[in-house]
Amino acid sequence: MIHIPGNKYNFEIVCQNCGESYQFYIRALCKSTGRYSCINNLNTILSELEIDTDDSNFEDSTWIVDQDEAKYFTRVTEEIITDITYRDYLEHRLDEDRILGEWENRISL
């Protein structure tokens, strides 16, 4: 797991080995509420990972992928979220999603 601190959110990039495949997801944790949502299916993330938004294989908040996809998604996600300009943009988009009720809003333990 890779932890990346942000201004309003902390981010976790998770890539777990599941034998023949990997489970991949990006979790955003709201600093003020302690709630979180998996965000890899946001259009802004899909675009950066070069995934067609109509591809049903990537519509859920966790993905089962092969080893090459897992490495690629992890590398690209870390690059974009550590970029301050992109992270600020992403945090703004997450705020919008929360206002529109599109946030999973799970409580962090």
DSSP letter for each residue of the chain = -EEEE-SSEEEEEEEEE-SSSEEEEEEEEETTT-EEEE-TTSHHHHHHTT--TT-GGG-SSSEEE-HHHHHHHHHHHHHHHHSHHHHHHHHHHHHHHHHTT----EEP-
* Sequence ranges of the domains in the chain: 2-107
What does the pLDDT profile of the chain (109 residues) look like in tens digits? 999 999 999 999 999 999 999 999 999 999 988 889 999 989 899 999 999 888 888 888 899 999 999 999 999 999 999 999 999 999 999 998 888 776 766 666 5
Question: What pTM, to 2 d.p., does this model score?
Answer: 0.89
